[in-house]
């Protein structure tokens, strides 16, 4: 991972709900920096910039160069609390990152070479089971995604995590089984038009009705004779 984003912050004094509300009223967002066996630092972030970075969707997989009153910290957001109505960021937890930091992070699965896939060429359908996967990797080497080359897969094949191209130093968080990511399903059969139920049986029903009517007329005829 080479892309970073940057934020500036100020140290804040006090903790608790009252202090957090006061910070939010000043258009700032409370946050904390922790990890690397150091004391946590409570900070205040600019609310507008924090929401902007969160809404880009990369905050949990991209390192942040965080300037706290002129002191540089390289961090990774690990949790964000959102307002239940507005979805604005209410609080952020940042983890200090070093060369030793190993984390579990969710990254997208990218299925490549679909146009070359043998099964899809035969009108098969790619049914994706997992659109993202939790992997264990160095915090300074988080991949943008993991790739699966579909070229050789045919109809009926199951695509497993072992078929994914893992970045150097990364491994699946689930390591006790070779779990499925997707499958190449057979195309749906074309259902031909079939006669509706009961079609073509009117004659038999009509004959039965006429027969019953005929039997019903018979006693009346005998009564007339009397």
User: What band does 117 get if pLDDT is binned at 50, 70 and 90?
Assistant: very high
Question: Are residues 119 and 54 part of one domain?
Answer: no
Q: What is the CATH number of the domain that holds 81?
A: 2.40.240.10
Question: Are residues 67 and 11 part of one domain?
Answer: yes
User: What band does 59 get if pLDDT is binned at 50, 70 and 90?
Assistant: very high
Asked if the structure places residue 109 within a domain, the reply is yes
Question: Are residues 121 and 92 part of one domain?
Answer: no
Asked if the structure places residue 77 within a domain, the reply is yes
Question: Are residues 163 and 180 part of one domain?
Answer: yes
What average pLDDT does range 5-12 have in this prediction? 94
User: What band does 13 get if pLDDT is binned at 50, 70 and 90?
Assistant: confident
Asked if the structure places residue 192 within a domain, the reply is no
Structure confidence at residue 109 (pLDDT): 97
Task: Examine the fold and report which residue of 43, 62, 97 is the final residue of a domain before the chain moves on.
Answer: 97
Burial 154-172 (b: 16+ CB within 10 A, else e): ebebebebebbebbeebeb
Question: Are residues 117 and 85 part of one domain?
Answer: no
Which has more confidence, 202 or 138? 138
Q: Is residue 43's pLDDT more than 60?
A: yes
For the chain, the three-class secondary structure string (H helix, E strand, C coil) is CCCEEEEEEEECCCCCHHHHHHHHHCCEEEEEEECCCCCCEEEEEEHHHHHHHHHCCCCCCCEEEEEECCEEEEEEEEEEEECCCCCCEEEEEEEECCCCCEEEEEEEEEEECHHHCHHHHCCCEEEECCCEEEEEEEHHHCCCCEEEECCCCCCCCEEEHHHEECCCCCEECCCCCCCEEEEEECCCCCCCCCCCCCCCCHHHHHHHHHHHHHHHHHHHHHHHHC
Asked if the structure places residue 225 within a domain, the reply is no
Q: What is the CATH number of the domain that holds 159?
A: 2.170.120.20
Structure confidence at residue 195 (pLDDT): 55
Q: Is residue 63's pLDDT more than 70?
A: yes
Question: Are residues 154 and 111 part of one domain?
Answer: yes
Number of domains in the chain: 2
Give the model confidence (pLDDT) of 128-151 as tens digits: 999 999 999 999 999 999 999 999
Asked if the structure places residue 74 within a domain, the reply is yes
What average pLDDT does range 16-32 have in this prediction? 88
Identify whether the C-beta of residue 42 lies closer than 8 Å to the C-beta of residue 32: yes
Structure confidence at residue 192 (pLDDT): 41
Distances (CA, A) of 61 to 14, 89, 192: 29, 17, 50
Residue 155 CA from chain centroid, whole number = 24
Structure confidence at residue 197 (pLDDT): 57
Determine what percent of the chain is predicted with pLDDT higher than 90: 73
Q: Which of 106, 144, 147, 109 is nearest to 128 (CA)?
A: 109
Structure confidence at residue 198 (pLDDT): 55
Question: Are residues 114 and 86 part of one domain?
Answer: no
d(CA 90, CA 21): 10
Question: Are residues 156 and 75 part of one domain?
Answer: no
d(CA 89, CA 55): 9
Give the model confidence (pLDDT) of 80-101 as tens digits: 999 999 999 999 999 999 999 9
Q: Return the structure tokens found at 165.
A: 């191209």
Question: Are residues 142 and 87 part of one domain?
Answer: no
Question: Are residues 107 and 72 part of one domain?
Answer: no
* Structural domain boundaries, residue 37: 4-97
Structure confidence at residue 150 (pLDDT): 97
d(CA 110, CA 81): 28
Structure confidence at residue 3 (pLDDT): 77
Asked if the structure places residue 84 within a domain, the reply is yes
Q: Is residue 180's pLDDT more than 50?
A: yes
């Amino acid at each position: 991972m080479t892309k970073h984003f940057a934020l500036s912050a100020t140290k804040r004094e006090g903790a608790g709900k009252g202090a957090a509300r006061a910070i939010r009223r000043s258009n700032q967002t409370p946050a904390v920096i922790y990890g690397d066996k150091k004391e946590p630092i409570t900070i205040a972030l600019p609310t507008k910039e924090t929401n902007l970075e969160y809404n880009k969707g990369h905050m949990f997989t991209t390192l942040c160069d965080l300037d706290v009153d002129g002191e540089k910290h390289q961090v990774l957001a690990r949790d964000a609390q959102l307002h239940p109505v507005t979805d604005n960021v209410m609080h952020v937890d940042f983890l200090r990152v070093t060369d030793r930091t190993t984390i579990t992070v969710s990254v997208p699965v990218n299925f490549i070479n679909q146009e070359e896939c043998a099964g899809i060429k035969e009108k098969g359908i790619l049914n994706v089971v997992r659109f993202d996967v939790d992997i264990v990797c160095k915090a300074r080497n988080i991949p943008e995604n993991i790739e699966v080359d579909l070229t050789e897969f045919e109809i009926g094949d199951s695509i497993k995590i072992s078929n994914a191209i893992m970045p150097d130093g990364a491994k699946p968080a689930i390591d006790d089984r070779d779990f499925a990511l997707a499958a190449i399903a057979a195309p749906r059969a074309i259902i031909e038009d079939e006669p509706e139920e009961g079609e073509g049986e009117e004659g038999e029903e009509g004959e039965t009705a006429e027969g019953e009517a005929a039997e019903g007329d018979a006693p009346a005829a005998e009564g007339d004779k009397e």
